[in-house]
Chain A
Amino acid sequence: MSVYLDHAATTPIFDVAVKAMTDALTKVGNPSSLHTEGRSTRKDVEDARDLIAKAVGCLASEVIFTGSGTEADNAAIKGLFWKSGKKIIAISAIEHHAVLDPARWLVEHEGAELIEIPVSKNGELDLDYLKDLVAKRGSEIALISVMHSNNETGVIQPIAEVVKIAGSIPVHTDAVQSFTKTPLSYKELGVTSMALSAHKVGGPHGIGALILQRAYEIPALLHGGGQEREIRSGTLNAPAIVAFAAAAASKIYEASKVQELRERFEAGLLSSAPSAYINGVDAKRLPGISNVTFPGTQSDSLLLLMDSMKVSCSTGAACSAGVHRPSHVLLAMGHNEVSAQSSLRFSLGANSTTADVDFALSVLPTVIERGRAANQK
């Protein structure tokens, strides 16, 4: 058998999404056209928008479809920065590159000042640091961005508290990993903007959404036909949008079931590899992510060995050349470069089974043994 334990990277598309997408692919009609076909496609898109809005607890008019979660993050970070006219971008030290890199780009090209808010050993945001920062330099802060949960460790961040501390400062949250996995309400959190992605929730690749407060306008990245509140021009990708909505509304993902599997996995892992430890274990985490450090190994060796034994997992972070670098997330949690590069991320999804977990556990001892041997060379 082969076992897929990289659902945080992407998870298999749900049948309901395939059906919605293939049906939509056979239809003609640009949702911006005024005739019968156009109106029909537009209705599909707006029905989908309603479903997404309901699933994430926002108004339909607050949903802006984008080409990816990364695009939604870029639109928010750059847009909120440009709108504010202020200088400081405050982000958590564990943001995904989709937030980190546009922020760094603004530093390099637009004179922004980037402040990274540290996290604890458990990977939770240091709220006292943020309080202090807002008290001292609040009037200079353009935006605060803290992810709802971390993609490498699954640790859930205190966004409601961040919003409280921020006061009138706009807050963006990357909720790509959290959506459908843990309770998430745009309205209740009170953030200014939020990023979502379809392929993490059983939808297709190439579609995401920026949730942005009604009537809160930001400069656009893409200019053109004026779609999506003139914040994201471009013909709406109707087939992907309806599939995204079908997946998001499906309730196929059962958090309690996934969490039970993860607990089984972690218990088995710790009993067969006593020196291993789970990163963020004492924090509130997403149900499906387990980030494990195996001292005395190198994660790229482990990944190759797992892969050759038909278990797919992740080293957490990879650069464009595919070279494994120490994860900035683990470094921020107090790891050194060596231990950060001795870690693997296992992530379970809606269709994961007990058999998957047991199979992965069965190959681990050999993998760890060989991984340790390779590391001593």
Chain B
Amino acid sequence: MKIIAAMSGGVDSAVAAARAVEAGHEVIGVHLALAANPQKYRSGARGCCTIEDSHDARRAADKIGIPFYIWDMAEEFHEGVVENFLAEYAAGRTPNPCLRCNEKIKFAAVLDRAKAMGFDGVATGHYARTQIGPMGKTLHRAVDPLKDQSYVLAVLTTEQINGAIFPLGDTEKVDIRIEAEARGLAVAQKPDSHDICFVPSGDNAGWLRDRLGSEVGPIVDNAGNKIGEHKGAYTYTIGQRKGLGLTIPTTDGSPRFVLKIEPVTNTVVVGAREELAVSKLIGEKTIWCGPAVDEKPLRGFAQVRAHGAALDCTYYFDGTQLVAELDKPLLGIANGQALVIYDGDRVVGSATICESA
């Protein structure tokens, strides 16, 4: 096949590109420039599209012996990922921008463009697997549970999965580094990227405050009594305990947690830990990564964070919303988080949590 290898400048995508070449594909390396004003150098483990990263990607492509280009996707990234991230926070939800990037950029803008240009698919360094079986090509967890990225890929439709190639899914990260070393790739020991790539400082709250303002508002308890003030409701996270700055203690001295963020009234609601517990998750904007599910309840696993646990659940689709009933209650779910359903290690689909109880 003729494929595009998306190369971030990191070790994973470099090895993925090398493996794609060895698998007999005709491979062209493409680095996606996602920042409108890229920084020159990486700072720590954050960010993935500095000029230094694009240089690293180019040198990896040189080593592998494939052509290399840079595609400017800064505008698409800003509209589809960064603005969405801000809008979600402004609406009191907690989004995961990596899912949006896979949904809107890597397996949409890039894959579509690649196909139009005569390529068959896009290879990335994601840790996930695909399998071809009676259900067609399906998306599965990687063998390395610590690195598994199927959660952030659960926004891919069957058509997108058909055009996706994940050469690393069958290998553990530690072995990828060894392999990169053996292949002479200079990025073999480059640190993993963490956090949100477009917030290079790592200070998400400060970044949000700069863009959304920091309007002071009340922190109230469940009965509506004002017990403190906050500087911008969206800089809080459901389940957050530290940094609330509350001076009025609870009667029994137990800690308070953020229960709810109400953007319209700019209010943060706090309460006891038990009040965070939910056992029913309801999600909208459902995407199926394989055959669609109907109203018939099925047993499976729910996951609500990128590296969160797989929670035993019963799930079904009521015609408009995806519902997961958890066997054991879960603490601290925010609207906006992605609910991903697994059947064993197969990704069934995902939805954006809009309600929990």
Interface pair A374/B54, CB less than 8 Å apart: no
Query: Is A301 on the interface with B (CB-CB < 8 A)?
Result: yes
Contacts A370-B116, A374-B117, A376-B116 given: A300-B54 contact, CB under 8 Å? no
- Of A307, A323, A371, A375, the residue contacting B70 (CB under 8 A) is A323
Task: Assess A301 versus B54: contact at CB under 8 Å? Given A307-B67, A321-B33, A324-B72.
Answer: no
A305 within 8 A of B: yes
B117 in complex: contacting residue of A320, A321, A323, A371, CB < 8 Å: A371
Which residues between 240 and 295 of chain A lie within 8 Å of chain B, taking CB atoms?
A: none
Rounded to whole angstroms, the CA-CA distance of A355 and B28 in the bound complex is 27
Answer whether residue B199 sits at the interface, using C-beta atoms and an 8 A cutoff: no
Asked if B67 and A321 sit within 8 Å, CB to CB, the answer is no
Who on chain A is nearest to B118 by CB? A370
A303, A304, A371, A376 interface centre (most CB from chain B within 10 Å) = A304
Contact A305 B117 (CB under 8 A): yes
Assess the A373–B116 pair: CB atoms within 8 A.
yes
Report chain A residues within 8 Å CB of B74.
323
A74 to B349, CA, bound (A): 58
**Does B72 contact A300, Cβ atoms closer than 8 Å?**
yes
Residues in A neighbouring B33, C-beta threshold 8 A? 321-323
List, in ascending order, chain B residues with CB within 8 A of A304's CB: 28, 67, 69, 117
Which residues of A, 292-332, contact B by the 8 Å Cβ criterion?
A: 300-301, 303-305, 307-308, 320-325
Asked if B41 is at the interface of the complex by the 8 Å CB criterion, the answer is: no
A35 contacts B by Cβ under 8 Å: no
State A88–B33 Cα separation when bound (angstroms). Answer: 36
In the complex, chain B residues 113-133 whose Cβ is within 8 Å of any chain A Cβ: 113, 115-118
Known contacts A321-B54, A323-B33: A300-B69 contact under CB 8 Å: yes
Q: Which residues of A contact B71 (CB under 8 A)?
A: 300
Residues of B within 8 Å of A324, CB to CB, are 70, 72
In the assembly, what is the distance between CA of A373 and CA of B71, in Å? 16
A374 touching B116 by the CB < 8 A rule?
yes
Contacts of A300 in B (CB 8 A): 69-72
Contact A320 B51 (CB under 8 A): yes
Question: Residue B112 at the A interface, CB < 8 A?
Answer: yes
> Is B38 an interface position by the 8 A CB rule?
yes
Are B109 and A377 in contact (CB-based, < 8 A)?
A: yes
Smallest Cβ-Cβ distance to A370: which chain B residue:
B117
Asked if A321 and B113 make an inter-chain contact with CB atoms under 8 angstroms apart, the answer reads no
> Chain B interface mostly helix, strand, loop or mixed?
mixed
Taking each of A324, A370, A377, which has the highest tally of chain B beta carbons within 10 Å of its own beta carbon?
A: A377
Q: With A and B bound together, what is the CA distance between A374 and B69 in angstroms? A: 15
Indicate the size class of the contact surface on chain B: 20 to 34
Complex Cα–Cα for A17 and B58 (A): 31
Q: A17 CB to closest chain B CB, in angstroms?
A: 27
Q: Which B residues are CB-close (under 8 A) to A325?
A: 72
The 8 Å CB contact of A301, one of B31, B109, B117, is B117
Which residues of the partner chain A approach B70 to less than 8 Å between Cβ atoms? 300, 321-324
Contact present for B51 and A374 (CB under 8 Å)? no
A-chain residues with CB within 8 Å of residue B54 when the two chains form the complex: 321-322
Residues of B within 8 A of A322 (CB): 31, 33, 54, 58, 69-70
Q: Which of A320, A321, A370 has the most CB of B within 10 A?
A: A321
Query: Is A308's CB under 8 angstroms from B116's CB?
Result: no
Looking at A301, A308, A320, A371, the one whose CB has the most chain B CB atoms below 10 A away is A308
Residues of chain A lying within 8 A (CB to CB) of residue B112: 374, 377
How many Å from the CB of A229 to the closest CB on chain B? 36
Q: Which of B51, B109, B115, B116 contacts A321 (CB 8 A)?
A: B51
Residues of B327-351 contacting chain A, CB below 8 A:
none
Q: How far is the CA of A370 from the CA of B117 in the complex (A)?
A: 5
Task: Please give, as numbers and ranges, the residues of chain A lying within 8 Å of B38 by CB-CB distance.
Answer: 321, 323
* B117→A373 contact, CB < 8 A: yes
Q: In whole angstroms, what is the CA distance A301 to B112 when docked?
A: 12
A303 contacts which chain B residues (CB < 8 A)? 69
Residues of B within 8 A of A370 (CB): 116-118
Which residues of chain A come closer than 8 Å to B67, judged between CB atoms? 304, 307-308
Contact residues in A for B118 (Cβ distance below 8 Å) = 305, 370
Contact at A301–B72, with CB atoms within 8 Å? Answer: no
Q: Whole-angstrom distance from the CB of B95 to the nearest CB of chain A?
A: 25
Bound-complex Cα distance A301 to B69 (A): 10
A321 to B67, CA, bound (A): 16
Residues of B contacting A376 with CB < 8 Å?
A: 116
User: Which A-chain residue is minimally distant from B112 (CB atoms)?
Assistant: A377
By beta carbon, the residue of chain A nearest B50 is A321
Chain B residues 24-62 with CB under 8 Å of chain A are 28, 31, 33, 38, 51, 54, 58
Complex CA distance for A307 and B66, rounded to whole angstroms: 12
Q: How far, in angstroms, from A375 to B76 measured CA to CA in the complex?
A: 13
Contact between B113 and A374, CB atoms less than 8 A apart: yes
- Inter-chain CA distance A47–B53, complex, in Å, is 46
Q: B70, B109, B112 — which one has the most chain A CB atoms within 10 A of its CB?
A: B70
- A sample of 12 inter-chain contacts (CB < 8 A) reads A300-B71, A307-B67, A321-B33, A321-B70, A323-B70, A323-B72, A323-B74, A324-B70, A324-B72, A370-B116, A375-B116, A377-B116
Q: Which residues of A contact B (CB under 8 A)?
A: 300-301, 303-305, 307-308, 320-325, 370-371, 373-377
The 5 closest A-B pairs by CB, nearest first: A377-B112, A373-B116, A374-B116, A322-B70, A323-B72
Identify the B interface with A (CB < 8 A): 28, 31, 33, 38, 51, 54, 58, 67, 69-72, 74, 109, 112-113, 115-118
